[in-house]
Amino acid sequence: MAKLESSLKNMILSLGIISLISSALLAGVFTVTKDPIELAKSKKQADAIKDVLPNKNSKVGQAVEIKLEGKETPFIIYPAEDNGELVGAAIQTYSNDGYAGKIEIMVGVNKDGEISNYTILSSSETPGLGSKIGEWFKSSKANQTIIGKNPDKVNFTVSKDKGDIDAITASTISSRAFLSSIRDAYEAYKIYQEQQNKNSHE
């Protein structure tokens, strides 16, 4: 068998074959992992909704998207009912202003507008600093926690900005982004409540 001549043509041909094989392998891996990844994502979301609701046994209704002025992505409301009565909701919220970019959160609100719980869905904040948002605002310290507080009655901004909530030490940017996402979630929830009240009187 004749030895292939080392030439630009042969090198391009070899690279082309390698690229085709690599692309086929990547496509195969994507196909195999796509469904498990989607299932894991759906489970994480369902667990987050259950974790933040004021009553874990509440029936979760159909998701509703609420668009806020100035926000490009809608907020998603998962209403919770007991015996046909709205008792609160889980709200999928976000902020694009984290120290490391976008933060996604699931937050629960009860029928009185108080925050029942929250969980971080995704975040790339600095480990040991901004990453503390997952627990910091659940602390038992009065000026640190948001649990049990109503954003209409408590100023959900950091104390450095004349608000009522203490920021994470050395992570003011992450704290501002987190609290902003909670305020937005609450505003979306109020719009949802208004829509429900309007529909019930029509």
Q: What is the pLDDT of residue 35?
A: 63
Within 67-140, strands assigned E span 75-82, 85-98, 101-110, 115-122
Q: What is the pLDDT of residue 34?
A: 60
User: Which of 109, 106, 135 lies closest to 122 in space, CA to CA?
Assistant: 106
CA–CA separation, 147 and 93 (whole Å): 16
User: Are 98 and 130 spatial neighbours (Cβ–Cβ below 8 Å)?
Assistant: yes
Residues linked to residue 119 through DSSP beta bridges, in sequence order: 106
Q: What is the pLDDT of residue 1?
A: 46
Per-residue pLDDT of the chain (202 residues; tens, 9 = 90+): 455 455 777 777 778 788 888 777 777 776 666 666 667 677 888 899 999 998 878 899 899 999 999 998 999 999 999 888 889 999 999 999 999 999 999 999 998 999 999 999 999 999 999 999 999 999 988 899 999 999 999 999 999 999 999 999 999 999 999 999 999 999 999 999 998 887 766 6
CA–CA separation, 156 and 165 (whole Å): 6
Report residue 92: phi and psi, to 5°.
Answer: -90, 115
